[in-house]
Amino acid sequence: MLETSPTTRVRWPEFAHVVFDCDSTLSTIEGIDVLAEGLGLEAEVTALTDAAMAGEVDLGDIYGARLEMLRPTEQAVAGLRAAYKRNVVPHAGAVIAALRELGTKVYVVSGGLVEPVAEFAVHLGVDPANVRGVQARYNELSGEWWRPGQAHENEFAGFEAGALTRSNGKPEVIRDLLAKSCGLTMLVGDGASDLQAADTVDLFVGFGGVAHRERVATGAPVYIRANTLAPVLPLAAGPGGRDRLTSPEALRTFERGIELVERGDVLFQEDDKREQLRAALASGETQR
Q: Which residues of the chain have pLDDT under 50?
A: 1-7, 141, 146, 152-157
pLDDT at 136: 73
> How distant, in Å, are the alpha carbons of 188, 204, 222 from that of 102?
18, 20, 22
Q: Are 258 and 236 in contact (CB under 8 A)?
A: no
pLDDT at 168: 59
What is the reported pTM? 0.86
pLDDT at 72: 79
Map out the domains of the chain with their CATH numbers. 12-287 (3.40.50.1000)
Q: Which residues pair with 207 in a beta bridge?
A: 224
Closest CA relative to residue 138, chosen from 121, 119, 152, 124: 152
